[in-house]
Structure 1
């Protein structure tokens, strides 16, 4: 009888334990299944990562590139004057020297060795002008990639809630600066879900703080910065020329859920006569495309009759583009869900 009571107690405890952790799992799943939850590959996550990259444009007058910045301190020579750069404020000394005369050469010569810092916070030491020239060449080959997003700054600290779906573990952490947030996003695993602890404050290019309360509002702010900040916009690119030059593949498609793999193997060619040809395994389907401006927003539309291509037919908003990337989104009318369509150039 004593054994039965002990066994019954053990069994009850086991059942309660299972029920507790099962409920805990269900609560965690429910908490991390809302529209505010994002993953490593969610578009908003990639935008945030580009916002918090190492700022590299501040010293372009010295290094002539956005690819990296030169780490302080270092020395340059401008018009026979040596200038030591100890901080970003000292870059003004170079600008002032260049502005002194309109007839001098204004050549900025960097004293080597130097250490450079890339957008991802990695560093590299360059011992000579030859090393520097080689690196500039490498950077030029990557110049068509979507760059850092400027004119938005997060105010810290920021709380991040996270959930590991493999281990059913929910936790949170506080991020204190850009570099920490970049490393956190860069090291996210595929099975990890995160949610920003709103509200947060973002400072725009005009210096005014903006309170952000959800993912949709944050993404709209990013879109506004991409469209209106001179450090982000590239007025030299013509969208139609970029679109109709070469072949493209779908690198990301989200409609209710991610469906990128459905379009694996398709190549899209957008013609100047507003037709589009989608080819896969020797079979081609022809559709149409159009572009128009609606309430100041550029809208893009694809029209196919056959599955699965007809699922691409939406009024896509042009979010951003480069010579190698086309990014569109379609916010729903009720703001509960946003669809995304990304194309990447096929080399």
Structure 2
């Protein structure tokens, strides 16, 4: 099955088309000048330095592929895989319409997301039946990254579920946030100093654009854009900072993004952690990635690197519905820079993500990610 290679290779997709100027012999000089103007304007908009990082010019912010904001954007536009969990029991794939299931010996045609309610109604209709949902095979599964695979029988389907179960906890799609399309992205390629614009028509096109973005390219969203939440309320977004805040709000308040079965305190004191990502004005992960962190229930923390052992403390509290977290090492300790008033962004059994302060200009946010060893 191709699904077993899903996490090891990037899906080959048709490159997104970009908007370019037609070059005709009679317009050659004019178009060269227009191209130069585009590049010059974008160079004002994007400042390319030795290290690619988020930068602000003309009320817009350029974004690199390895930016935390980019990863959250991609999770917003992933396939909606959680809606049919009552049928396929996985948040990393969904069954492609149309297909048929049986519930308590009743056959139900699933032609759209509205038909999930029929399955729920059947399950709730009687308390004495088995409520087992059986898929009529073959069906096509769509994965969170838009890849599709034909599943011929229940044996293949069970192997698929076992595959997802065997993987480390993945941070799934961010629900309750929908982009109103089309939107325009301004793209700058630092390798050849070219600039162009891309029209994005839907979630799949946006996901594939980010997936295929090379390390030498930066992109910027042409604001304003419109977002809709799960209540279908429209919100006008004027910059990356507002978009980032909308994503944070969706993670914290959308019920389908919350895992209420997890307890933060139990999670953080369970096992050992390492710094997966640390950003403060620039990516500084390399300074801390070799430390093994153990958080103890007496609110002490031990950091081990080879033969070096460093001791510190940690604390946490919930303030106005937001969990705050602070880690403390002595000022002469190489881990002292981690001392911040962090806010919990999201977590699962194997990943914990914190956000720090955002600069007054709205261009930079501090990030602190932990991953279980």
Q: Shared topology, TM-score over 0.5?
A: yes
How far is the alpha carbon of 1:39 from its aligned partner? 1.1
In the other structure, the counterpart of 1:45 is 70
Deviates more, 1:109-118 or 1:173-182: 109-118
Q: How does 1:1-347 map to 2 (within 5 A)?
A: 28-33=42-47, 34-35=55-56, 36-142=61-167, 144-305=169-330, 306-332=332-358, 334=360, 335-346=362-373
List per-residue Cα deviations over 1:169-197 (Å, max 9, x = no partner): 11111100000001111111111111111
Matches of 1:92 and 1:295 in 2, distance apart?
Answer: 35
Matches of 1:293 and 1:95 in 2, distance apart?
Answer: 35
**Does the Cα contact within 8 Å between 1:73 and 1:85 map onto a contact in 2?**
yes
Report the 3-state secondary structure (helix = DSSP H, G, I; strand = E; otherwise coil) of the residue aligned with 2:255.
Answer: coil
Matches of 2:281 and 2:171 in 1, distance apart?
Answer: 26
* TM, length-normalised to structure 2: 0.83
**Does the Cα contact within 8 Å between 1:32 and 1:194 map onto a contact in 2?**
no
How far is the alpha carbon of 1:100 from its aligned partner? 3.4
**Does the Cα contact within 8 Å between 2:274 and 2:371 map onto a contact in 1?**
yes
Q: Give the structure with higher Rg (CA).
A: 1
How far is the alpha carbon of 1:30 from its aligned partner? 3.5
**Does the Cα contact within 8 Å between 2:38 and 2:196 map onto a contact in 1?**
no
Aligned CA RMSD, in angstroms, stands at 2.0
**Does the Cα contact within 8 Å between 2:279 and 2:285 map onto a contact in 1?**
yes
Report the 3-state secondary structure (helix = DSSP H, G, I; strand = E; otherwise coil) of the residue aligned with 2:174.
Answer: coil
Instruction: For structure 1, list consecutive stretches of 5 or more residues without a partner in the other structure.
Output: 1-16
Instruction: For structure 2, list consecutive stretches of 5 or more residues without a partner in the other structure.
Output: 1-31, 48-54
| Moved beyond 6 Å, runs of 4+ | 23-26
Total equivalences in the alignment: 327
